[in-house]
Structure 1
Amino acid sequence: MARLFVILLTITLSPFSAAWGQAQSQGQTVRLLALGDSLTAGYNLPADAAFPAQLEKALREAGLNVTAINAGVSGDTSAGALSRLDWSLADKPTHALVALGANDMLRGLSPENAQANIEKIVTRLQSAGVKVMLVGMLAAPNLGEDYGRRFNALYPALAEKYKLPLYPFFLDGVATRRDLTLDDGMHPNRAGVAEMVKRMLPSVTAWLKG
């Protein structure tokens, strides 16, 4: 009787077990949207050297099933990224790295407007069920102390308000290093992107596993 009960129980639970296994498998598949500007797009780099491609490779080597979606557009401001967000959402991301604001800063645009645009992006992504990690930027010193204070504060403020993980500075370890940037001294070269990925990888991995 006990043996018969086990057999019947196994037959009964098999569809459930299969569905559970499938759900677990699907849950481990990450579609990671990298929403940004030229630093994300891979300005003057081959596709496999761009940040999303190098990050995907590093995450897969770390054992995570991740497909990175390059939604970087060179020259884009936070307003431009907001205007194309629906197009980015069409790729059905499960997670998003939001790395915007560099061009707002370089053009001296209002930090408050940049913050409002990024906030709208974050809330729309969250409303679509997408998990968000914020990637910060720092203002150039030549823009003045007041501008720098206002701009640099926008990322921690949004991270705190929406309980987002924050990577404080996208170009950490790369900015001002001639060996890691292109001839313009601003955009990372292949090695520079690799350094960005190396420094961000622990934070991104912890976020995706969380």
Structure 2
Amino acid sequence: MAQTVGTAPIRLLALGDSLTAGYGLARGEGFAPRLQQALVAAGRQVRVIDAGVSGDTMAGGSARLDWAMAERPQAAIVALGANDGLRGLPPGRMAEALESILARLEARGVPVLLAGMLAPPNLGADYGRAFEAVYKDAAAKRPGLLFYPFFLEGVAAQRGLNQADNIHPNPAGVAELVRRILPVTEQLLDRVPSVAAG
């Protein structure tokens, strides 16, 4: 459902790490600007706020959420956790930080799309299950939450879609990320009160 002509653009927060910040890419090629382009092309009036900080963990995102909220976002994509996995940080601590993020967004009436992550396989099956459960448990606790299980779906480990480090998406990889997450992002925008009322 497209927004009414003449309304101000919806402010959509993209709270993340280097994967949302566009690490290694030219200006305008990262996830946030490319998602905004795709949404506008789909008839949406939206401004995607790039709150991605390279190297950030779930706890780091929680620590700077209040700063990000100064932009008064009306909807939020939470895409953190990749660095927690790369560093093998405790899933329990990660879950606490995610709960803090979601609770504060919920308290402000901001609808959320939670984009999950998977742990690197070299950390073992037990760690991988506990890591994945952080997202699944958070989503199960909040029936109103939109959940996209794996942010890098269709892009992870695809050599032609990643930079030389095989971690960060290249422009083609970002395009694929955006293509896949676009439908659920549109569902998120439809949950913004002014849009739903329109």
Is the counterpart of residue 143 in structure 1 residue 145 in structure 2?
Answer: no
In 1: Cα distance, 2:91 partner to 2:20 partner: 20
**SS at 2:155 equivalent:** coil
User: Residue deviations 1:136-188, cap 9 Å, x none?
Assistant: 00111111011011001111110111221101101111111111100101100
- State the match for 2:147 in structure 1: 166
Q: TM-score, normalised by structure 1?
A: 0.85
The runs of at least 4 aligned residues of structure 1 exceeding 4 Å deviation read 23-26
The CA distance in 2 between the partners of 1:30 and 1:97, in whole Å, is 13
1:124 aligns with 2:124: no
2:180 pairs with 1:202: no
Q: Distance in 2 between matches of 1:24 and 1:41?
A: 30
Unpaired runs of at least 5, structure 2:
192-198
Verify: 1:185 aligned to 2:166, yes or no: yes
**Structure 2 match to 1:9:** none
Equivalent position to 1:157, from 137, 142, 145: 137
When you count helix as a share of all residues, which structure comes out higher?
1
Q: Bigger CA drift: 199-208 or 84-93? A: 199-208
SS of 2:172's equivalent?
Answer: helix
Identity percentage over the alignment? 53
Checking the alignment, whether the CA contact within 8 Å between 2:13 and 2:48 is kept in structure 1 is yes
Quick check: 1:176 aligned with 2:149?
A: no
| Counterpart secondary structure, 2:133 | helix
CA radius of gyration, larger in: 1
CA shift for structure 1 position 83: 1.0
Q: Measure, in 2, the Cα distance between the counterparts of 1:165 and 1:130.
A: 12
Shift of 1:24: 9.0
Tell me how far 1:127 sits from its aligned partner: 1.3
How many residues are aligned here? 187
- Report the RMSD for the aligned CA atoms in angstroms: 1.5
Task: Return the TM-score normalized by structure 2.
Answer: 0.90
In 1, Cα distance between equivalents of 2:27 and 2:148: 24
Partner of 1:48, secondary structure, is coil
8 Å contact kept, 2:111–2:188:
no
CA distance in 2, matches of 1:168, 1:49: 23
